[in-house]
Amino acid sequence: MTSVHAEQGSGTDHIDDLYWRAASTPVVESDQELESIVRQAELPVLLVSLAAALDDPSILTDDLRPPLTPMDTAPVPHGGMTPAQQERAVEVALTALKRLRDEGITRVGALSDERRRELLGFLSGGREEWLDMLSHELALAPEHGGRPDWRFEDVAAGRDFRVLIVGAGVGGIAAAYRVAQAGLPYAHVEAGETLGGTWAKNTYPGVRLDTPTFGYSYSFAQRGDWPHQFAEGSEIADYLEDVVDRAGLRERIEFGTRLLRLRWDDEAGAWEATTVGPDGVEKARMFSAVVSGLGLLDRPNIPDFPGAAQFQGVTMHSQEWNHDVDLAGKRVAVIGTGASAYQIVPAIVDDVASLTVFQRSAPWMLPAPNYHDAVGESFAWLVEKVPHFAQWYRLWVILTGIEGRAHTVTAEEGWEGAPLSISRKSQELRDYLAARIESQLASRPDLLAIAIPAYPPGAKRMLRDNGVWARALLDDRTTVVTAGVDRFTPTAIVDGAGVAHEVDVVIFATGFRPSEFLENIEVTGRDGVDLQDFWAGNARAYNGITVPGFPNLFLIYGPNVGGVVQGSLHFMIERAAEFAIKAMREVLERGATAIDVRREALDRFVAYVDEGSRRMAWGQPYVRTWYQNASGRVTAIWPYTNIEYWDLTERVDPADHDFLP
Ligand code: NAP
């Protein structure tokens, strides 16, 4: 028997999810098997997905509501349900799962508005102000809110309006998907030969996601059968390829085509975009609007070490890995101890003859015992057999990430523990993480002496650790150098203490140039103003998206929208794309040429994000991190939750904008 509810919802043309599965596999397992699965499940997710599948919210009684206990280092299991709540939840879920089996339910369609509110209300502890944002992320919501509710031909039929999308990474793909949904004519250029952006470029050994996979996907492409809780790099690259194919976006991408210049033409009311294609020929085209999906972390930072040009061995940046170089038996140096080095060092230590790690500052690491694990069997079973379990799980990851770990990195007024901690909670976290490092490196006092960071947790990006970093540092082949890099010789790196480390290969895991937004593109706006001159080393954009004097130019993943301790990056990226499309609609509906954000609106936004970052670990005056620009202002990070960004990007406020005739 199939539920009526499922029948009603089975039309899928209104479902905005490229991975929508109309039906799951029937449940045939015994009661005992089901109990074992329920006991391993994340209970709030299972309860709510069963309530949706059975169309029976009465199973979600108030006493089962997860308290959403804030996470200090990793998500709190079951949202912090007490043991008694968990026992009761197991009972309720087991009964419901048996019903799913016995009633032969394999389908669930879009939820009614009332059901959506009930189910999200249960998961979010009644936080009304979260519901719209969460609906955006819920595959079963009848209207996610992401898809444009208008079409170009209905609003401005016949008008010559073309959009240029730059880049086919996570941001550019999101933009192309929404632009195509709105029926806007567009061109899409990608400098590389492949799509996927950072995930196509970063192929170094060990590359993988260090945030939960289920939170790292599009609301419109909710893949359920991820192999790992922290996906390998190639899995994300494959996902992006697959999304582009499912959405039919591939044939529009001009690969090998790099944007060189953008020049606003006042008379034409359009951007002249000059690109260079695979044939090396420059081409100028006019576009009414430009959406940049250029990444933040894709221009390598390779410090200018004296003598580096004379080095006779091999050098490579983490993002420009040369797979022709066999590291087996080589003497290898890795400069840097950030997120890239953290993955490279353990992945190569067993192959090399020696490994010299140059550490300028030690990293803080969050425990993640399952960092390299495949998803469990029972989890895969739930994805296969409980309708839309994966979609609910994804929603749960995003929901619990709304507040995330922000409370652990928020400064306390008058706290005296600086520069090591910024609050009581920060000090507790510091003590906990330091004790963990102490237990990992107990046998090596020399390493322990340099392994505990001298800055508060969260001031720089924290890494996920299952012990592999410490194991690599403890390896006999590894030497950790903290004296800095003084210079290179043809065969060695000489450290700051004058010791020469003879090496065959040097890996620059020295990060990127994240503050220099759009630095490789010449962008000239109204009145001939150059974008870099306007920014003067301090990139700023209203909502992270628009810049005064640069009409109809929209940045996806622009300044101040990256979350590090809370929130989903995909959400921020999608919202920027959606905001751009809403702004274009305003232009088209008003019969205007372009939208230009006002200077005072930008200044207000900048003051708002600066105020937020000042309260966070990364905003403290004694901290240096890639989140900040050269003068120390935080330009990379969004210091609030996804909810505030939802509110800011919900509508295009005419009071903040000029519309050019
Ligand atoms: P990064 O975090 O900026 O780390 C660069 C490292 O190089 C730091 O340890 C830095 O030291 C060191 N360094 C820089 N210049 C140096 C110099 N002149 N001399 C000595 N050391 C120097 O770069 P990343 O590791 O490539 O990571 C960047 C970001 O990319 C991450 O924070 C993350 O957002 C993203 N990422 C994500 C993943 C993932 O999801 N799996 C993986 C990799 C990267 P200091 O700390 O002292 O500055």
Query: pLDDT, tens digit, for every residue of 524-561?
Result: 999 999 999 999 999 999 999 999 999 999 999 999 99
- Give the pLDDT mean for 206-225: 96
CA 570 – ligand 1 centroid, Å: 21
pLDDT at residue number 2: 30
Q: What is the dihedral of CA 434, 440, 441, 442, to 10 degrees?
A: 90
pLDDT of residue 223: 97
Using alpha carbons, select from 21, 5, 9, 221 the residue that is nearest to residue 110.
Answer: 9
The predicted structure's pLDDT at residue 11: 45
What does the block give as tokens for 555?
A: 């940045």
- Centre of ligand 1 from the C-alpha of residue 230, in Å: 19
Q: According to the model, what pLDDT value does residue 100 have?
A: 98
- CA of 318 from ligand 1 middle (Å) equals 10
Q: Is the CB of 515 under 6 A from ligand 1?
A: no
Cα separation, 407 vs 349, in Å, equals 36
Residue pair 346/472 in contact (Cβ under 8 Å)? The answer is: yes
Report which of 580, 522, 517, 515 is spatially closest to residue 546, judged by C-alpha positions. Answer: 580
End-to-end CA distance of the chain: 60
Is the CB of 511 inside a 6 Å radius of any atom of ligand 1?
yes
User: Is the bond preceding residue 419 a cis peptide, omega within 30 degrees?
Assistant: yes
Distance in angstroms (rounded) separating the CA atoms of residues 396 and 222: 13
What is the sign, positive or negative, of the torsion defined by CA atoms of 559, 564, 567, 573? positive
Mean pLDDT value across residues 578-587 = 98
* Residue of minimum CA distance from atom 37 in ligand 1: 339
**DSSP H stretches of helix in 29-82:** 31-40, 43-54
Tokens of residue 499, six digits: 């010791």
Q: Of 411, 441, 413, 443, nearest to 427 (Cα)?
A: 411
Q: Tokens for 73?
A: 């280092």
Task: Give the phi and the psi of residue 271 in degrees, each rounded to 5.
Answer: -95, 135
Average pLDDT over every residue of 463-473: 97
pTM (two decimals) = 0.96
Whether residue 240 contacts residue 250, with contact meaning beta carbons closer than 8 Å, is answered with no
Q: Residue 400 — left, alpha, or beta (φ > 0 → left; ψ -120 to 50 → alpha)?
A: alpha
Q: Is 210 in the pocket of ligand 1 (CB under 6 A)?
A: yes
Which of 296, 359, 461, 561 has the most ligand 1 atoms within 8 A of CB, as the residue to mutate?
Answer: 461
| CB < 8 Å & 24+ apart, contacts of 151-160 | 151/182, 151/183, 152/182, 152/183, 152/184, 152/185, 152/588, 153/183, 155/585, 155/588, 155/589, 156/588, 156/589, 159/588, 160/288
Across 452-464, average pLDDT:
97
Estimate the share of the chain in helix, then strand, then coil, as percent rounded to the nearest 5. 40, 15, 45
Q: Does the beta carbon of 116 lie inside 6 Å of ligand 1?
A: no
Whether the pLDDT of residue 47 is over 60: the answer is yes
Output the pLDDT for position 13. 58
339 lines ligand 1 (CB under 6 A): yes
Over pLDDT 70: what percentage of the chain? 98
pLDDT at residue 142 tops 90: no
State if residue 487 touches ligand 1 by the CB under 6 angstroms criterion. Answer: no
Q: Determine if ligand 1 sits within 6 Å of the CB of residue 338.
A: yes
Model pLDDT, residue 307: 98
Q: What is the mean pLDDT of residues 217-240?
A: 97
Per-residue confidence band for 144, with pLDDT thresholds at 50, 70 and 90? confident
Q: Quick check: 188 and 256 in contact, CB under 8 A?
A: no
CB 660 within 8 A of CB 639: no
Atom 10 in ligand 1: which residue has the minimum CA distance?
336
| Four-CA torsion 165, 531, 605, 552, nearest 10 degrees | -40
CB of residue 317 inside a 6 A radius of ligand 1: no
Query: Which is the closest atom of ligand 1 to the Cα of 297?
Result: 30
Ligand 1 binding pocket includes 303 (Cβ within 6 Å): yes
Residues 6+ apart with CB under 8 A from 442: 448
Q: What percent of the chain has pLDDT over 90?
A: 96
Name which of 151, 102, 98, 115 is nearest 9 in CA terms.
115
DSSP string, 454-486: SS-TTSS--EEESSHHHHHHHSTTEEEE-S-EE
Distance (angstroms) between ligand 1 centre and the Cα of 502 equals 23
Q: Are 125 and 94 in contact (CB under 8 A)?
A: no
In the DSSP assignment, the letter for residue 117 is H
Q: What is the 3-state secondary structure (H, E, C) of 45-60?
A: HHHHHHHHHHCCHHHC
Which residues are CB-neighbours of 342 under 8 A, at least 6 positions away?
210, 363, 365, 463, 465, 469
Cα separations in angstroms, 216 against 45, 240, 299, 329, 415? 18, 11, 22, 37, 35
Distance from Cα 327 to the centre of ligand 1, integer Å: 21
Strand intervals (E) in 216-353: 253-255, 258-265, 270-276, 282-287, 289-292, 314-317, 331-335
Pocket test for ligand 1, best of 340, 345, 365 (most atoms within 8 A of CB): 340
For residue 145, the model assigns a pLDDT of 81
Q: Is the C-beta atom of 469 inside 6 A of ligand 1?
A: no
Is residue 186 a contact partner of residue 164, using CB atoms and an 8 Å limit? yes
- Distance from residue 461's CA to the centre of ligand 1 (Å): 9
pLDDT above 60 for 36: yes
Distance from Cα 445 to the centre of ligand 1, integer Å: 25
State in Å: Cα 492 to ligand 1 middle.
22
State which ligand 1 atom lies nearest to the alpha carbon of 336.
Answer: 7
336 Cβ closer than 6 Å to some ligand 1 atom: yes
| Interatomic CA distance for residues 351 and 325, integer angstroms | 12
- Report the pLDDT averaged over residues 450-463: 98
Task: Provide the pLDDT confidence category of residue 348 given band limits of 50, 70 and 90.
Answer: very high
Q: How far apart are CA 413 and CA 159, in angstroms?
A: 56
Q: What is the pLDDT of residues 250-270, one digit of tens each?
A: 999 999 999 999 999 999 999
Pairwise pLDDT comparison (110 vs 240), residue with the higher score: 240
CA–centroid distance, residue 618 to ligand 1 (Å): 15
Cα 540 to Cα 563: distance, rounded to the nearest angstrom = 16
How many other C-beta atoms can be found within 10 angstroms of the C-beta atom of residue 213? 22
φ, ψ of residue 189 to 5 degrees: the values are -110, 145
Residue 478 has pLDDT above 70, yes or no: yes
pLDDT-derived band at 143, boundaries 50, 70, 90? confident
| Burial class of residue 655 in the structure, from the number of CB atoms within 10 Å of its CB (0-12 exposed, 13-18 middle, 19+ buried) | exposed
Give the residue-averaged pLDDT of 445-464.
97
